[in-house]
Structure 1
Amino acid sequence: MKRIIGAAIASLWLAAPAWAQDAALLARGKHLVEVTGACGNCHTPMGPQGPDMSRALSGGNVFDEPPFRAVASNITPDPETGIGRWTDAQIARAIREGIRPDGRIIGPPMPIGLYRGLSDRDLAAMVAYLRTVPPVRNAVEASVYRIPLPPAYGPPVTSVPEPADNPVARGAYLANAVAHCMECHTPMVEGRNDFSRIGAGGMEFRGPWGVSVARNLTPHANGLGGWTDAEIIRAITTGVSQNDRPLAPPMAFWAYRTMTPAELSDLVSYLRSLPPQP
């Protein structure tokens, strides 16, 4: 296994044999990258039928919006066009603080402000798993930003614990730090999320499907107030709305369909706890 980031993270695994540490960490990382985090929704090239898994995580998708023309990076271990020459600490810093090895800031739509809440354990798991994916040689163009990027997203993150052991806290961690649901489902003002209206929806997404609008996820009557738990879970995992209408991309239904029942239950608990937003 590659070097784990930080003594605090490593201590989580010292009680188990080395082979068990590897297996547990990599399994967690795979689930975070491929399912709940749905990293491939941005970083895997998309074709007419969805993600091209033969080039998984090799980047190149373009997000051309008024504030930016962002191009997803190659996050496979290819040494020339990906992250193969980055250290574990450099990968971790890029994910959680939005700073590349050369010091450049990573801009939106990468949700760095939310990823700052990733726990030490989950960050280590993601780094370990990214080391194992097949390297794909795919040079991508640089992103162009029409808004100023911050010099940093905050002070250096030293350590982040696991969320409190209750459904709402676990759901909040999942919806924000991991699955970054609130990045897309919170209104944008001048290129940045307005978290005073968290979950209110309204952001537009353009693609081959046309224009889709992020739904209000709060318990308001205009949001999920009249939905049952089962209907919310069906929408997340299958892309079918309460009225049986198919939902549009870029929601990563293809990844979320294998979320665990416990994760889905926690996520619903959190969504029910949000302040209603009209």
Structure 2
Amino acid sequence: MSAKDSPLRPAAPIALLAFCLIGPAADAGEIERGRYLVDALAACDNCHTPRGAAGYDFSNRFSGGAQTFSDKSYVVRGSNISPDKDTRVGAWTDAELCAAIIDGVGRKGRLAPVMPSDSYKPLTSSDLDAIIAFLRSATPIRAPLQAPQQRSGEWAPHPMPGAAAPFDEASLADKNTRGLYVASLARCLSCHSEEIDGAPDYQDRLGAGGKTFRNAAGVVVASNITSHPAKGVGAWSDDELKRAITQGVARDGAPLRPPMSTLSKAHFSKMSPDDLDALVAWIRTIPPKE
């Protein structure tokens, strides 16, 4: 059975074999859809492509990132997800790629929770197929897994409310549903919600900001994007929100700091007008939090 026909996606990779298999060879339209999802929303390059002072090194696209991610249960670097058969995922089956993308399970077991599989759980069957097709179309890069790669313990999934299972393609005709879909794939709320023990607190602090990032720009705290008129973005115009998302510019004209500035310019600037409109409409529905 093809992923296009799947009514659900079980968490276990063995069960996934029956559901997450791409059928006919991908056509150009499917690959382009996958390119859009990877480039504009999922931002896979952010972790899986090396970069320098000028930005991503696309001559080595998907060969693995240089950034180290760490928490109490892991220290990892973004792996090679190019279709090289010897050093990465070229020899993986569609079911194995599917399990890694939406369930965070690799060939050797659970991936580190920095892999945002929770955010990709709502992927429609056709969009999941498209992402896999696009990754298979990329240039194979021989690049063995980089150290460090240390993982221990287990972790529980924390999908966004309302986005814990695959969406039906027809449901995306609804603007708010489409906005939720885009927000999940783009990981908006996993960054803009406070955390408890390393996981976003969607129950009480959805969109309230507070997650801390440490990077070359220093210590950056994610902002409040709830509909609160003073603490959040409730008083922002649609155009101001769109500018922040796609250009990395704050309401007062000041540049936003990484990682938002990087993601906005390299990825979210490629978001389609319909997806951007839907995302802004959905952000307006986030209850106000101080």
Q: TM-score, normalised by structure 2?
A: 0.83
CA distance in structure 2 between the aligned counterparts of 1:27 and 1:96, rounded to whole angstroms: 20
Q: Aligned-pair distance for 1:61?
A: 3.0
Paired residues for 1:203-222 under 5 Å: 203-220=211-228, 221-222=230-231
| 1:221-271 Cα deviation digits (max 9, x unpaired) | 211122110001001111111111111122212111111111110000010
Q: Aligned-pair distance for 1:98?
A: 1.0
Q: Aligned-pair distance for 1:22?
A: 0.8
| 1:134-181 Cα deviation digits (max 9, x unpaired) | 1112222253347x3237789xx99652344211110001101x2111
CA distance in structure 2 between the aligned counterparts of 1:158 and 1:204, rounded to whole angstroms: 28
1:185, 1:217 within 8 Å by CA — same for their partners in 2?
yes
Residue type at the aligned position of 2:286: L
Which of 77, 84, 88 is the matching residue for 2:90? 84
1:5, 1:88 within 8 Å by CA — same for their partners in 2?
no
Residue type at the aligned position of 1:187: E
1:62, 1:69 within 8 Å by CA — same for their partners in 2?
no
| 1:44-98 Cα deviation digits (max 9, x unpaired) | 1121222222211211333344434231111101112221110111101110111
Query: Are residues 1:134 and 2:139 paired?
Result: yes
Residue 188 of structure 2: aligned partner: 181
CA distance in structure 2 between the aligned counterparts of 1:165 and 1:266, rounded to whole angstroms: 10
Which of 247, 256, 263 is the matching residue for 2:256? 247
Residue 201 of structure 1: aligned partner: 209
In structure 1, stretches of 5+ residues that fail to align are: none
What secondary structure, in the 3-state scheme, does the structure 2 residue paired with 1:273 have? Answer: coil
Query: Are residues 1:149 and 2:154 paired?
Result: yes
What secondary structure, in the 3-state scheme, does the structure 2 residue paired with 1:212 have? Answer: strand
CA distance in structure 2 between the aligned counterparts of 1:226 and 1:167, rounded to whole angstroms: 21
CA distance in structure 2 between the aligned counterparts of 1:184 and 1:159, rounded to whole angstroms: 21
Query: Are residues 1:172 and 2:170 paired?
Result: no
CA distance in structure 2 between the aligned counterparts of 1:183 and 1:168, rounded to whole angstroms: 18
1:97, 1:153 within 8 Å by CA — same for their partners in 2?
no
1:45, 1:61 within 8 Å by CA — same for their partners in 2?
yes
Residue type at the aligned position of 1:273: T
What secondary structure, in the 3-state scheme, does the structure 2 residue paired with 1:131 have? Answer: helix
Residue 48 of structure 1: aligned partner: 53
CA distance in structure 1 between the aligned counterparts of 2:149 and 2:209, rounded to whole angstroms: 25
1:204, 1:214 within 8 Å by CA — same for their partners in 2?
yes
Q: Percent identical across equivalent pairs?
A: 37
Structure 1 residues 76, 215: closer, same or farther in 2, change over 3 A?
same
CA distance in structure 2 between the aligned counterparts of 1:145 and 1:83, rounded to whole angstroms: 20
Which of 3, 17, 24 is the matching residue for 1:5? 3
2:208, 2:224 within 8 Å by CA — same for their partners in 1?
yes
Q: How many residues align?
A: 265
Structure 1 residues 189, 8: closer, same or farther in 2, change over 3 A?
closer
What secondary structure, in the 3-state scheme, does the structure 1 residue paired with 2:46 have? Answer: helix
CA distance in structure 2 between the aligned counterparts of 1:64 and 1:31, rounded to whole angstroms: 26
Q: TM-score, normalised by structure 1?
A: 0.86
CA distance in structure 1 between the aligned counterparts of 2:58 and 2:193, rounded to whole angstroms: 29
Structure 1 residues 55, 145: closer, same or farther in 2, change over 3 A?
same
| 1:121-144 Cα deviation digits (max 9, x unpaired) | 111110011000111122222533
CA distance in structure 1 between the aligned counterparts of 2:143 and 2:258, rounded to whole angstroms: 24
1:70, 1:108 within 8 Å by CA — same for their partners in 2?
no
In structure 2, stretches of 5+ residues that fail to align are: 8-18
Query: Are residues 1:99 and 2:105 paired?
Result: yes
RMSD (CA atoms) = 2.7
Most deviating of 86-95 and 208-217:
208-217
